[in-house]
Each structure stands twice: as structure tokens, then as C-alpha cells.
Amino acid sequence: MKKTTKNTNIRATVATKLDGALKTAADKVEALADETKAVAAKVEKQVITAANRVNFDVQKATKDATKMAEEISKKVTVTVETVIEKALHRFNVPTRRELKDLTTKVDTLGRKIDGLGFRRVRGAGKRTRRAA
């Protein structure tokens, strides 16, 4: 019977040590899981912060690029208009602005003449275009 008691004691000791080892291993796994969660939360926070910073930088760059494109577009437009205007003057062709100004002056003169109260002579009111 001594063998049985001795075996039982050994089994009990092994079982106790195994239980202790399993409990220690489980505690370590749990601690590691908690630490992993904490590290993951920290990394997630850093990623979100970096993403927000990048998003802000992209928005700022977009605004700056748009503003720069508008400025360049205005400069190109002014330059092209100036070159075209000079070329038209070289060929004695009036510009749109000059034609508008002239039309405005003619309209103003027409209203002034109408305001003077001259009577129209028969047939003088009809204006016809001459063939070229």
C-alpha cells in the first residue's frame, strides 16, 4: 500500500504543480493580452492623430494650389488680352471694349438728338443699308 500512497502523493504534488503552472501561464497570457490591448489602443490613437494631421496638410495644400492656379490664370489672361489688343491695334481693328464704348456714345448721341425735338421729314425716318 505504500506504493499506492506514494503514487497518490506524487500525483497530488504533480497535479498541484500543474495547476499552479497553468494558473501562472493563464495570468501571464491575460497580462500579455491586457498589455497588447493597451499598445493597440496607443498605436490606434497615434494613427488617428497622424491621419488627421495628413488630412489637414492635404486640405491646406489644396487651398494653396487652388489659390496659386487662380493667380496664374489671371496673369495669363491679362497677358494674353494685352497681346491680342496690341495685335488688333497694329491691324487697325477695334477691340470689343472700343466697339462697346463707341456704341454707347452713338446711343447717347441718338437720345440727345431725339430730345432736341426735331420733326422728322417724311421718308427721312427710314434707314436703309447700302449694298457694299
Give pLDDT tens digits for 28-71.
999 999 999 999 999 999 999 999 999 999 999 999 999 999 99
pTM (whole model) above 0.85: no
Amino acid 132: pLDDT: 45
Query: Residue 92: which region, alpha, beta or left (left: phi > 0; alpha: psi -120 to 50)?
Result: left
* Residue 57 belongs to a domain: yes
The DSSP line for the chain is: -HHHHHHHHHHHHHHHHHHHHHHHHHHHHHHHHHHHHHHHHHHHHHHHHHHHHHHHHHHHHHHHHHHHHHHHHHHHHHHHHHHHHHHHHHTT---HHHHHHHHHHHHHHHHHHHHTTPPPPTTTT---PPP-
**Which residue did the predictor score with more confidence, 130 or 91?**
91
* Residue 61 belongs to a domain: yes
* Residue 52 belongs to a domain: yes
Residue 108 has pLDDT above 60, yes or no: yes
107 within 8 A of 117, measured Cβ to Cβ: no
Domain count, the chain: 1
pLDDT per position as a tens digit, 3-22: 677 778 888 888 888 888 88
Structural domain span for residue 11: 2-115
**Which residue did the predictor score with more confidence, 10 or 76?**
76
Amino acid 95: pLDDT: 82
* Residue 60 belongs to a domain: yes
* Residue 86 belongs to a domain: yes
Mean predicted confidence (pLDDT) in 70-89: 93
Amino acid 130: pLDDT: 54
* Residue 80 belongs to a domain: yes
* Residue 122 belongs to a domain: no
Amino acid 121: pLDDT: 57
* Residue 129 belongs to a domain: no
| Cβ neighbours, 10 Å, residue 95 | 13
